[in-house]
Amino acid sequence: MTATDTTHMSADWPADLLAQEFRGKRVLVTGSSRGIGAAVAAAFARLGARVAIHGRDGAALEAVAAGMGGGVVALAGDFADKAQTRGVVERAVERLGGLDVLVNNAGTMLGRVALADIEDGFLQRQFDLNAASAVVASRTALPALIASRGAIVNTGSISGRTGGSAGSSLYSAAKAFQASLARSLATELAPHGIRVNAVSPGTIDTDFHGRYSTPDKLAQTAARIPLKRLGTAEDCVGAYLFLASNRLAGYITGQTIEVNGGQLYN
């Protein structure tokens, strides 16, 4: 390459690249009534995408959708229930007129329970919500994603790598499932032009920790994080937009992006 060779500069990177990428794109973000999912859905909406948000409380969701601007579709359903999961995705595809991006984000820990105390019903519910729902949602969305050559982004967790703290074994294993599922489906769906990746948040300051972590535990965690603070929902948004963008991440599939301030172990 000579000093006058500009082949390395030939890519056209428009100043409004993200808006060009997502304007008019049809996006379903599951678990977007609050927290990480709400931040991701709001960003897609701001960039001009046609967005469907999801949670369990229909009335609350309508208010969240209104706050994201006109045209955001609100769909309620319990993702521990496979029929409801299918119904939400079917309605999203119908209301949006297809689907370009599916973000499988719905989930929560459901409680810290030691192995000896894990009951069969709890085991089943953990698996249904935090692992199986992404399979059911992706399977239901598949015809629409094949038609659009779309993208799937799963939400994993740092606990999928570390195992999490005591009492979170099922949740953590289910989150590891999300990253593993993304890797497998990436290979399987590549012939359809569908990319499948995952975002693995670290300790993100959302309602989640209000329920499952004490302030002391969070302060200790923050002190161990190299960037010396907990993450925010907004900190996670860029990784989802990046992985959903064919322009930015068109040659990236089967990968997991860790968003954790440099925290590798808990």
Q: What is the DSSP string of 65-129?
A: HHHT-TT-EEEE--TTSHHHHHHHHHHHHHHHTS-SEEEE----------GGG--HHHHHHHHII
User: What does the alpha-carbon distance between residue 174 and residue 162 come to, in Å, rounded to a whole number?
Assistant: 12
For ligand NAP, the binding residue among 105, 148, 169, 172 (CB under 6 A) is 105
The residue whose Cβ lies closest to ligand NAP is: 35
Which candidate, 10, 14, 2, 17, places its Cα nearest to that of 246?
17
Shortest spacing between CB 173 and ligand NAP, in angstroms:
12
Shortest spacing between CB 85 and ligand NAP, in angstroms:
8
* Residue 261 binds ligand NAP, judged by CB under 6 A: no
Can 251 be counted among the known catalytic residues?
Answer: no
Which candidate, 98, 196, 197, 194, places its Cα nearest to that of 146?
194
Shortest spacing between CB 131 and ligand NAP, in angstroms:
11
Under rule CB under 6 A, which residues in 114-153 are in contact with ligand NAP? 129
Which of 171, 212, 251, 265 is flagged as catalytic? 171
- Strand (E) positions, the chain? 26-29, 50-55, 73-76, 101-104, 151-155, 195-201, 256-259
Cβ nearer to ligand NAP, comparing 141 with 148: 141
Binding mask 178-207 for ligand NAP (x = CB under 6 A): -----------------------x-xx-xx
Question: Which residues are annotated as catalytic?
Answer: 171
What residues make contact with ligand NAP under the rule CB under 6 A? Answer: 31-37, 55-57, 78-80, 105-108, 129, 155, 157, 201, 203-204, 206-208
